């Protein structure tokens, strides 16, 4: 989690710096950047709160919960980095509005996806924590209840880790200040690939729960429902419809 905390701190620093750099700019541009900074600041605070909840998991070491916590933390870090990139776009593109708008629209669509992914991951983790000691019999074999969920989470975790590495490579330090590169079209496709894995994993999980809930009554309380999957699918469709520069 230390690496994720450093990423968040760096993003917060960059967002604040972007807010301070508006002095002397034309009023219209200044107001636009100030709005972006305010939104980025608010969103990063929310992501940071989620990251705070992921710190201590020693009591769950024998479960799959740390694996879920890891991909939630990495998802948070991707979102934070993209918000920091967003507030730097005007400077990086020398205030060329068409270029800025195209990238800003794509990045914001992607951060909506990431916010929903974080929410679904968090709901899943909390449910797994509540049921960590429960054992069920599935096809004649005794297994931990939370392990039935973990089967669908592993491919999600692997895809998110790849996307996290891509996002982390966008952040660097120059002359003591945190800076950002603009994600390439290939980078954006990597983030969308993680979104596809997330969507498939949770779609399959919800389908499994619906099919199995009569045998495993505890699954009725699983908080991720079809409506959540439908929301993520709609957000993914909207993000994919935008040009990736």
Tell me what pLDDT residue 64 has.
81
Record the pTM: 0.88
The Cα–Cα gap between 48 and 101 comes to 26
- In eight-state DSSP terms, residue 59 is G
Q: For the chain, which ranges sit under pLDDT 50?
A: none
Tell me what pLDDT residue 58 has.
53
Interior angle at CA 207, CA 206 and CA 211, nearest 5: 115
Residues 6+ apart with CB under 8 A from 96: none
Tell me what pLDDT residue 190 has.
95
Query: CA separation (Å) from 9 to 66, 81, 165, 177?
Result: 22, 10, 17, 12
Tell me what pLDDT residue 244 has.
74
Tell me what pLDDT residue 245 has.
67
Residues 6+ apart with CB under 8 A from 191: 78, 82, 110, 114, 163, 166, 167, 183
Domain that holds residue 196: 2-241
- Count how many domains the chain has: 1
SS3 141: strand
Interior angle at CA 69, CA 37 and CA 106, nearest 5: 35
Q: Are 149 and 233 spatial neighbours (Cβ–Cβ below 8 Å)?
A: no
Closest by CA position to 64, among listed 172, 149, 7: 149
Q: Where are the alpha helices (DSSP H) in the chain?
A: 2-20, 27-52, 65-92, 97-130, 145-168, 185-212, 226-241
Interior angle at CA 226, CA 220 and CA 231, nearest 5: 140
């Amino acid at each position: 989690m230390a690496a994720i905390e450093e990423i968040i701190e760096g993003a917060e620093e960059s967002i604040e710096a972007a807010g301070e750099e508006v002095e002397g700019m034309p009023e219209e541009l200044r107001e636009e950047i100030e709005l972006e900074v305010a939104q980025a600041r608010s969103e990063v605070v929310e992501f940071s709160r989620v990251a705070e909840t992921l710190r201590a998991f020693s009591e769950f070491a024998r479960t799959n919960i740390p694996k879920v916590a890891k991909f939630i933390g990495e998802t948070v870090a991707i979102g934070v980095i993209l918000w920091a990139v967003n507030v730097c776009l005007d400077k990086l593109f020398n205030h060329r509005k068409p270029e800025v708008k195209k990238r800003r629209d794509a990045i914001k669509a992607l951060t909506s996806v990431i916010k929903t992914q974080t929410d679904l991951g968090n709901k899943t983790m909390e449910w797994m924590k509540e049921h960590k000691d429960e054992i069920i019999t599935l096809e004649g074999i005794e297994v931990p209840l939370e392990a039935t969920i973990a089967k669908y989470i592993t491919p999600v975790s692997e895809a998110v880790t790849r996307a996290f590495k891509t996002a982390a490579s966008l952040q660097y330090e120059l002359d003591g200040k945190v800076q950002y590169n603009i994600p390439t079209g290939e980078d954006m496709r990597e983030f969308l690939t993680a979104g596809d894995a997330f969507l498939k994993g949770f779609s399959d999980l919800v389908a499994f729960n619906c099919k199995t809930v009569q045998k495993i009554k505890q699954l009725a309380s699983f908080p991720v429902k079809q409506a959540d999957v439908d929301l993520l699918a709609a957000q993914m469709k909207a993000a994919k419809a935008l040009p990736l520069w």
